[in-house]
Structure 1
Amino acid sequence: YDDAIQQYRAALEKAPANAQLRMNLALAYYKKGDLPQATAELTVLHGNAPADVRVATLLGDCYLRAGRFADVVTLLHPVADADPAVKFELGTALIRTGKLREGLDLVQKAAEQGQSAEAYQLAADTYLKMNEFERGIALANAAVKLNPKLPGLMTLSGRLKQYMGDYTGAKADLRQAIVEDPNDFEAHVVLAAILNGERDLDGAQDQVNRALALRPDATLARYELARIEKTRGDVKAAVADLEKVVAADPNWLRPHVELATLYYKVNRPQDGEKERATVERLQKEGVQQPPEAPSEQSPSR
């Protein structure tokens, strides 16, 4: 790519208005992974030909990778009906900016028109965030038919099945996800939560230990560990781990609720009262909650 870039730049010095040469240069930067330079060249091309869908799609992808979601929306709205790739990029950007319904509509259309496993997966994940699990499962299944090896897909399918109460199916999907990627943190944590609920404490402990080995500071895994310790009857250990969780995520409501209860069990009533006061304050303030544990009936992450 470096040799090609050198040649294209030399050619552009002699023919700066040659759009094909500039596109070739932009593609060389894009394929090399030099997104800032690719963005610069594509911006010139887009300015000269704003209706060129190929240029807009490539530039939109550069913006997406850079987290410039508002720029994607501005760029692609005029060509929103062009093709599935444009719909997918624009829908993704809208979802990332909090416009879930609007973005979801475009992503679903992209999935159906382009038969894209990635688009089906994003739509399913968005339905999960919106607590519409049945729709999410249908789209996750469509993605699995197209590409069961898509990273994160089996974990997503497992989470959706968990929230629908299909724990057998959820465990199968999560175990498959772990086979494909032993470092799938989320799969380990969700599987730990399900196994804890079934009182397979050794299995749950093994999964949460793997999660913590991957991310030692992850509060979600630490919370699941505390729940396992609580189930085992090791209340002091559960208290110690919940204290670490609330120290790291002070606005996460659920650990405060559990900690308040456990403080009374270890004969620390004053600390229990403090935690109850914290719970009441958080409920009153309506603080936006950090992610609930996978065991909770909320898919927010």
Structure 2
Amino acid sequence: MGLLLAGLSLAFAVPEARAQSAASPDLLRQQALALEQQGQFAQAESIWHTLLTQNAKNVEACAHLGLDEARTQNYPEAIQYYRRALALDPSLHGLRLDLALSYFKMGKFPQAIPLLAEELHQHPGDLRLTILLGMAHYGAQQYDKVVPYLKAAAAKEPQSAAIRLPLAQACLWSRQFECVLTTYKQILALNADSAEADMLAGEAYSAQSNTPAAIRQFRAAIQANPNLPQEHFGLGYLLWTQRNYAEAEEQFRDELRISPDDGQSLAYLGDTLMHLGKSDEARASLERAMVLKSSLELAHLDLGILDVNAGHDSAAVAEFHAAIQINPKSTDARWRLARLYQKMGQHQKAAAEFAIVSKMKRESAQSLYLKMAGSHEAQATARQKDATPQ
């Protein structure tokens, strides 16, 4: 029975293929378009393949085959057809945008950006293209280039918080802090309980070293939505910087209730517990953090400190070296390692580490001085310019 059915299928398929090849290209084209309108994409695709076999330079067939592949999310194949069509006729309407969208949906943002930029150049002010180009730069982590596009889109969509959230994030990550706070206020006007916006404002204040304001914003975020990932960690970290270890512990534990495998929260919880004198709990938390994320400088440093306190000098040396390997500019790890070498009687090694620490501190002081001098010079130039008659 199976062989009979297979034979019948082949018998019907051969005349159908012959009928397609015998039909005129124009008739086949009309059939393919009609099938697409009816949602019969597989049948339409078969006809477009026939047309492409008849004429390898059939631009429309290439474009429609790209569209059919994109519909099934087979973007690599769609891109090949779109590129082939674009090489044959760069002026075909919508082709460049279709290619850009396939790149975008694959996460290949650098390839999508020039295509979207050219489309926007040809259609200035188009809202959809403006958002797409902004988000393509966002996906490519080119945050400074995101801001003008999403600002323009937000201006055209005054009621859209969805545009303003990535805009605020791009402003934050490109260190445009006033832009973050301005956008934050716009989001609050649309949604007074936006925990995400409160967090972004908190991060902006933190980056500006305005810790009290940052803490207020993170508390507001938690009040708006106590289950948002990273908000408890953000508040805990700020409290940790203020040495408010008791409350920081609560926040890190709250974060771990939401994200039990967050290695960073475990590391900071371990450090906090160590400062609170809970050495056993601290070690357990730090070791768990290391299992989840071995490249944590803080965890290695703290385990080294705990090892020193427990008299496990060799283990402490290994932990301090691991911390230094992750961050060669860590003066704290090097200083502790030098002290440990001194205690162990390894005076040459201790002297070498102390010398490195001393050099790093001198270089840091010189860098700070030059930065401050440059800032004062820029301010003086600005004052002189303001005082100059126009």
Q: TM-score, normalised by structure 1?
A: 0.77
1:247 aligns to 2:325 (yes or no): yes
Aligned partner of 1:105 in structure 2 is 181
Q: 1:79, 1:266 → 2: CA distance? A: 64
In the other structure, the counterpart of 1:69 is 143
Alpha-carbon deviations, 1:164-212, whole Å to 9, x = none? 3443332222112112212211100110001001111111011111111
For the residues of structure 2 that align with 1:179 and 1:95, how far apart are their CA atoms? 27
Code of the aligned partner of 1:64: Y
One-letter amino acid matched to 1:3:
R
Q: Is the 8 A contact 1:236 1:266 kept in 2?
A: no
8 Å CA contact retained: 1:90, 1:106: no
Provide the residue aligned with 2:31 in structure 1: none
Cα root mean square deviation, aligned: 3.6
Q: Mind listing any 5+ residue stretches in structure 2 that lack a counterpart?
A: 1-68, 83-88, 368-390
What is the CA–CA distance in structure 1 between the aligned matches of 2:135 and 2:226, rounded to whole Å?
24
Find the residue that maps to 1:151 and give its secondary structure: coil
Contact 1:91–1:102 under 8 Å retained in 2: no
Q: Amino acid of the residue matched to residue 185 of structure 2?
A: K
Letter in 2 for 1:51: G
Bigger shift: 209-218 or 33-42?
A: 33-42
Q: Are 1:266 and 2:333 counterparts? A: no
What are structure 1's unaligned runs of at least 5 residues? Answer: 289-301
Which protein, 1 or 2, shows the higher relative CO under an 8 Å CA cutoff with sep ≥ 6?
1
Matches within 5 A, 1:200-279: 200-279=278-357
Q: Quick check: 135-144 or 123-132, which moved more?
A: 123-132
The change in CA–CA distance for 1:282 and 1:54 in structure 2 (over 3 A counts) is: same
1:198-240 superposed Cα distances (whole Å, 9 cap, x missing partner): 1111110111111110122332321121122233343332222
1:195 aligns with 2:263: no
Of residues 221, 226, 244 in structure 2, which corresponds to 1:148? 226
Aligned residue runs from structure 1 range 12-51, under 5 A: 17=93, 35=109, 39=113, 42-51=116-125
Please name the residue that 1:95 is paired with.
172
- Identity among equivalent pairs (%): 27
Between structure 1 and structure 2, the one with the greater Rg is: 2
Give yes or no for the alignment of 1:55 onto 2:129: yes
Change (3 A) 1:148 1:225: same
TM-score by length of 2: 0.61
Quickly say closer, same or farther: Cα 1:43–1:235, change in 2 above 3 A: same
What letter is aligned with 1:70? D
**Bigger share in helix:** 2
* Shift in CA distance, 220/60, structure 1 to aligned 2, threshold 3 Å: same
Q: 1:261/1:129 Cα in 2 relative to 1: closer, same or farther (>3 Å)?
A: farther
How far apart, CA to CA, are the structure 1 residues paired with 2:181 and 2:101? Answer: 30
2:282 partner letter: A
